[in-house]
Structure 1
């Protein structure tokens, strides 16, 4: 399977919202939208209102990452706004994981969970058959520009082994510091989707089309793809 790329839109230039989305619509496999509540993590970023406006100008799947303490409050808003995939951190919903995953699937959307660097792959075993995507954080959640945590790659390998052994269907995804310095070692893990943000994409050029071409060139050079 060829690598898939999901730009993290909290890193884009919001003053060029339409221009940058239009340029990436023919390139991106997903759009990654981080929603942070200022409680689960101390930062506050995008919102269901952002999803609603993004939906008006793209058919690219909108992939929402909830970094919130009460995902049950935000999931209905994301569904109404047009999100295609909704993922949350399992520790925020331990007593309601099945209910939330089934709520998303019953709405005809895809669901996932996000594993922090210290959360083991085995944590998903009881509900992995419901998942369409498992995201592994390779930095602590909440802020851009953090140092890559190489131990996270062991989790990717474990998730892929679990998927193949059990016939599960989820995509694996990595979130945090995906750029030319880490592309090669990440690719070796077999991960399906790379989330690219400031260092991997948006800082490479002022024009996002040029930045995307540089990102792809970096990936191919570093991975010999």
Structure 2
């Protein structure tokens, strides 16, 4: 199980405790960066990634929800953020340039598909991607309605990868919790972004929350969490 906790939803009062614990249990951290324009909210920043880096050496994956990805991509390159995921809706005309810029810096390039955006939108450059993130909620706020039909994109992306030998990993982001574990797991994403409803709000400490998340996953899917 490749779990990528969404740090936007963590309890900042327990920042050090939560990051230290998760560092031993996850492969990556998911950092939402919002500019208040692409989505009507403000969230984390490259500075936050730098602070988190003091407590962990795990992969950082930045999810850009911004109107000007070029501005943010260079900042994330400067701090060596390992994975930079850009909104498909904002890279038309500059996608190849930005992907090359990220790869030339020795980092990984990803694309995020919002619910209304089809996989066909990214076909011109899909072979260059290291990750494709499928949003299963409307972006910008935690706790949005789960859009189950978006899981079909995961199936489509997996079929394209198998047919053409693409190397991208498939990530799903949105409402990963007890209510949806079964359908999400059946869709077979490579990476599960998990936030408030599926992890951080399950108990008053990260140790108990993690144990509850594992229990819920195993009860709902009938599979061992491994």
TM-score category by the smaller chain? over 0.9
Note the C-alpha offset of 1:179: 0.3
Note the C-alpha offset of 1:82: 2.9
Gaps of 5+ in 2: none
3-state SS of 2:193 partner: strand
Q: Choose from 30, 36, 39 the match for 2:37.
A: 39
Aligned alpha-carbon RMSD (Å): 0.9
Normalised to the residue count of structure 1, the TM-score between the two structures is 0.97
Residues 39 and 68, structure 1, Cα contact 8 Å, conserved in 2: yes
Tell me what 2:14 maps to. 16
Q: Give the count of matched residue pairs.
A: 223
Instruction: Report deviation, 1:116.
Output: 0.7
Report the counterpart of residue 114 of structure 2 in structure 1: 116
Distance 1:133 1:9 in 2: 19
What secondary structure, in the 3-state scheme, does the structure 1 residue paired with 2:148 have?
Answer: coil
- 2:177 is aligned, of 179, 189, 200, to 179
Alignment of 1:1-225 (within 5 A): 3-225=1-223
CA distance in 1, matches of 2:142, 2:86: 18
Q: Report the 3-state secondary structure (helix = DSSP H, G, I; strand = E; otherwise coil) of the residue aligned with 1:21.
A: helix
Task: Report the CA distance between 1:18 and its aligned residue.
Answer: 1.2
Contact residue 33 and residue 62 of structure 1 kept, 8 A = yes
Q: CA deviation at 1:198?
A: 0.5
| CA distance in 1 between partners of 2:12 and 2:40 (Å) | 21
Kindly provide the CA deviation profile for residues 158-181 of structure 1, in whole angstroms up to 9, marking residues without a partner as x: 000011000001111111100011
Q: In structure 2, the residue corresponding to 1:173 is in which secondary structure?
A: strand
Aligned-partner Cα distance in 2 for 1:122–1:213? 39
Q: Which runs of 5+ in 1 are unaligned?
A: none
Q: Deviations over 1:7-50 (max 9, x none)?
A: 00000011221111001101112100000000000100000100
Deviation per residue, 1:38-90 (Å, 9 max, x gap): 00001000001001111121111000000000010011111222311000112
Q: Distance in 1 between matches of 2:57 and 2:207?
A: 18
In 2, distance between residues paired with 1:16 and 1:164? 41
TM-score of the two chains, using structure 2 as the length reference: 0.96
2-structure distance, mates of 1:107, 1:80: 9
